[in-house]
Amino acid sequence: MTETQQDIERHQYDVVVIGAGGAGLRAAIEARSQGKRTAIICKSLFGKAHTVMAEGGMAAAMGNVNSHDNWQVHFRDTMRGGKFMNNWRMAELHAQESPARAWELESWGALFDRTPDGKISQRNFGGHEYPRLAHVGDRTGLEMIRTLQQEVVALQQADARDLGDYEAMIKVFPECTITQLLLDGPEDDRRIAGAFGYWRESGSFVLFEAPAVVISTGGIGKSFKVTSNSWEGTGDGLGLALRAGATLLNMEFVQFHPTGMVWPLSVKGILVTESVRGDGGVLKNSEGRRFMFDYIPDVFKAQYATTEEEGDRWYTDPENNRRPPELLPRDEVARAINSEVKAGRGSPHGGVFLDVASRLSAEVIRKKLPSMYHQFMELAGVDITKEAMEVGPTCHYVMGGIEVDPDNGATPAVPGLFSAGEAAGGMHGSNRLGGNSLSDLVVFGRRAGLGAAHYVTELDAEGSRPRVAEADIARAQQADLVPLETDAGENPYELHQDLQQTMNDLVGIIRNADELRRALERIAELKQRAKRISVTGGRRYNPGWHVALDLKNMLLVSESIARAALERQESRGGHTRDDFPKMDPKWRRVNLICSLAADGGISIRRQPLPQIPDRLLALFDRVELTKYLTAEELSHLPEENQQ
């Protein structure tokens, strides 16, 4: 049932947004608000994207709970969390703009939990100096996605009223997958011309002709076996961007969330929110010891309690006590849990204990952590108001991603291509703080939507839009059909499982050169096998075919991660090498850039990390900076830091 090219469904838009999570929806809302006709393409149904699973909250220095908070403090925490590898400009914009984005959500109908004086309540979270996370119990992501979804509908209602058509200016294409970006122009100056993909329901192809594309496809967790990510986290946008000639930044930084469920096996990896610890839960090993006190690294010694008594006092008197080490940044906690389990002090199913039952009343637990109560009760038969949970690290988030301009989300190499959210890299450095993701989505989603809209306006002022070449459409179509036309080849599900096992075993939380080299060999084998994937059945809603096509992206992403991880010879944030266990200030100045080589492999180059300007360095004291900066950088510090 291959359609001829004339039959392919075609749409013309100003801006096409791929991915309908928090970043994509916010980008689409912005592009439409700038007067651009906008398409939202989602792989799943509208409102189901992975954002829905975010639990803890959205970090925004509103100062509602502690009036000392402001964007400078938030910036500082974000840089510390990322071990100073963050793109400073992104961290700055994020800290400055997230309060306005939270208030905007409220004006679109979001109902956050409240403070006694009626403002948005804020909760404590790992790495944040003050209570900062706007939240709704432990289902904040759901609130965000529903609010953005409903705002898209609100815009559609306005268009129906004013223009007579709900879909005149903004249309959602649910269960539609993009497999190829299309370009126009000579080899050295190619611009975005459109996007090609298929409808899940019918399997028929669809072409979007558009001068601007925003990639907001989220994460890559499905390349790993134990992950908190949903089905969609296959790194599609990163693969699309690579194949279009864009670059990926610092892909070695992958966050393993310290607390995923470990049992039953069927739910291994599902997230246990950090709020459990923010609200008083503690981690214990099989000996009943709160082991996190043994794992406070030097860079954080000044900010964390050294005794259980002080840590406990902090919950009620944060002014006069330091926070407990259970609230260290995620990379520290994940490594600590890993070490405890390796030392034989783990829980029966290979995790550690997360105890909230002995810390809070059953009533408070059910009120503050309703989803967690529900999740453990229904999936594991564990009552968390009575027993401790068993938890362990799970692949959760990729700090690396598409290289973008911090101000407008534009990719430097491909005009017309923009990116925001987890798909984009740089904002979180080597490790993301909890709560900084939801705010990232809306801050940079808006900016990418704005960037795309401005790009289209300028392009139109010049008078010509890029055009999709018919030959490219034919090529994209043929490439997608290969698995259906191959007989008796590889099973896509098996190949996926083999990739996940490889990444888990060899590119996981603790890495070394030997294992990374083996991972690259295995990925090369998998890439060969992937060429022979065959899929039975037709094109209508055929999950085997979908997995086969997703695998292309997962393989490119996995190779990028492994190559960058082999290249970076230090340990920092979400990248730990047991053959290079120390953080090295020289490596802080190096960004690793992945691109697609002519032979289909990933090539890697080093690029200097943009320098933090003096006005922002002045927010830190010199002692702290000596832990991160090279001697040469320290000698150039501004006067404020010279005490």
What positions carry a catalytic annotation? 257, 277
Type of residue numbered 580: F
Q: Which is nearer to another protein, 306 or 497 (CB)?
A: 497
Measured from the CB atom, the residue of 115 and 626 that comes closer to another protein is 115
Per CB under 8 A, which of residues 507..546 are in contact with another protein?
A: 535-538, 540-545
Stretch that binds another protein, among 188-196, 302-310, 426-434, 487-495 (CB under 8 A): 487-495
Of the pair 47, 237, the CB lying nearest another protein is at: 47
Tokens 């695998």 -> residue = 551
Cβ of residue 172: shortest distance to another protein, in angstroms? 8
Candidates 8, 231, 313, 504; binder of another protein (CB under 8 A) is: 231
- Decide if residue 501 touches another protein (CB under 8 A): no
Shortest reach from residue 212's CB to another protein, in Å: 26
Per CB under 8 A, the list member of 181, 380, 456, 530 interacting with another protein is 380
**Residues contacting another protein: total by CB under 8 A:** 71
Sites for another protein among residues 304-343 (CB under 8 A): none
**153 is a contact residue toward another protein (CB under 8 A):** yes
Instruction: Give least dist CB 519 to another protein, A.
Output: 23
Q: Which is nearer to another protein, 52 or 360 (CB)?
A: 52
**Out of 68, 301, 342, 374, the residue judged to bind another protein by CB under 8 A:** 374
In this chain, which of 8, 100, 479, 481 binds another protein, going by CB under 8 A? 100
Cβ-contact 340, 288 below 8 angstroms: no
Cα of first residue to Cα of last residue in the chain, in angstroms, is: 74
Rg (CA), the chain: 24
351 — phi, psi (to 5°)?
-125, -155
Our CB check for another protein shows the closer of 446 and 588 to be 446
114 binds another protein (CB under 8 A): yes
Contact between 292 and 336 under an 8 Å Cβ cutoff? The reply is: yes
Token pair for 523: 């990925």
Q: Nearest-CA neighbor of 182 among 211, 217, 214, 218? A: 211
- The count of other CB atoms within 10 Å of the CB of residue 68 is 10
Using rule CB under 8 A, residue 106 touches another protein: yes
Distance CA 324, CA 306 (A): 8
How far is 442 from 135, CA to CA, in rounded Å? 15
Closest CA to 218 of 206, 208, 205, 228: 228
Please choose, from the candidates 256, 295, 270, 263, the residue with its C-alpha nearest in 3D space to the C-alpha of residue 387: 263
- The answer to whether residue 267 forms part of the interface with another protein (CB under 8 A) is yes
Q: Is residue 489 a contact point for another protein (CB under 8 A)? A: no
Cβ neighbours of residue 494 closer than 8 Å, sequence gap 6 or more: none
Say how many C-beta atoms besides its own lie within 10 A of residue 311's C-beta: 22
Please give the Cα distance from 407 to 542 (Å, whole number): 40
Q: State yes or no: residue 364 binds another protein (CB under 8 A).
A: no
Q: Which of 17, 39, 95, 136 binds another protein (CB under 8 A)?
A: 136
Q: Which is nearer to another protein, 157 or 478 (CB)?
A: 157
H or E segment and range at residue 395: strand 389-398
Binding mask 182-201 for another protein (x = CB under 8 A): -------------------x
What does the angle CA 79 – CA 432 – CA 27 come to, to the nearest 5 degrees?
100
Q: Cβ closer to another protein: 267 or 413?
A: 267
